[in-house]
Amino acid sequence: LDELAYRIVNEAAAQAMSRSTIGRILDAADIKPHRSVYWLNSHDPDFNRKAVNICRLYLDAPSLYERGHLVLSGDEKTGMQILQRKHPTRLAIPGHPEQREFEYIRHGRRDLLATFCVVTGEVVYDLSPTHTAQDWIAHLSHVLEHFPDQRGYHFVVDNLSTHTGYAVCHQVAAWEGMSVSDEELSTVERRQEFLSD
């Protein structure tokens, strides 16, 4: 609001306006210049086809589940700091707000790996001090242990390199009773294709 008031006077050569007047005008016009939302612009020419396929998979999840196939969505939250307040929080009492100590103790960082089962709503998660393909393999193993005896698994994940590393491909091949050479997995596209099959 301060910047708008400055620009009105100095760049638009208009009469000065107060912050509160500008705020009322913007509010009445339902304009919120201080708010923003994220959006993702894809440069993938095949984006629409891929998005349709994933949406179809989500819509088909209940019928796939009836046939023993799970649709799972996995992702990570990396670099979470584990913090502890140095002193206990004082609870709110009438006339006084809660008081939270500003000092904290650092207990390192962790990465959260989580997989959501689309049909059941169950979440399987792991906390890891690192973010490697081996951590992703350990998480996948945990998911398979949590949902045993399925006929198929459909994982929806992003294009993070830890999801498509050589080690991940070799582990998936071992689970399927297959063998695959590094030559067959020599590019990211080949590894993605192998894991998508």
Helix 166-175 with 188-196: angle, nearest 10 deg: 20
CA distance 117 to 59: 13
- Residue 173, Cβ density class (10 Å: 0-12 exposed, 13-18 middle, ≥19 buried): middle
Q: What residues contact residue 30 under an 8 Å CB cut-off, 6+ apart?
A: none
In DSSP terms, which residues pair with 71 in a beta bridge? 154
pLDDT of residue 192: 93
Q: State the CB neighbour count (10 A cutoff) for residue 104.
A: 14
Instruction: Check residue 67 and give its pLDDT.
Output: 97
Q: What percent of the chain has pLDDT over 70?
A: 99
Q: What is the pLDDT of residue 1?
A: 77
Give the residue-averaged pLDDT of 46-68: 95
Mean pLDDT of 19-41: 82
Position 26 scores a pLDDT of 84
Side-chain half-sphere of 43: how many Cα atoms within 13 Å? Answer: 0
- What per-residue confidence (pLDDT) applies to 175? 94
| Residues pairing with 154 in the sheet | 71
Q: Rounded distance, CA 62 to CA 136, Å?
A: 26
Report the alpha-carbon distance of residue 181 to residue 169 in Å, rounded: 10
Average pLDDT over residues 54-59: 96
- Give yes or no for residue 42 having a pLDDT over 90: no
pLDDT grade for 13, boundaries at 50, 70 and 90: low
pLDDT of residue 25: 85
Q: What's the pLDDT at 94? A: 92
Is the pLDDT at 58 greater than 90, yes or no? Answer: yes
Mean pLDDT of 87-92: 92
Which pLDDT does position 2 carry in this prediction?
A: 81
pLDDT score of 61: 97
pLDDT, residue 11, reads 78
Mean pLDDT of the chain: 91
pLDDT for 186 = 94
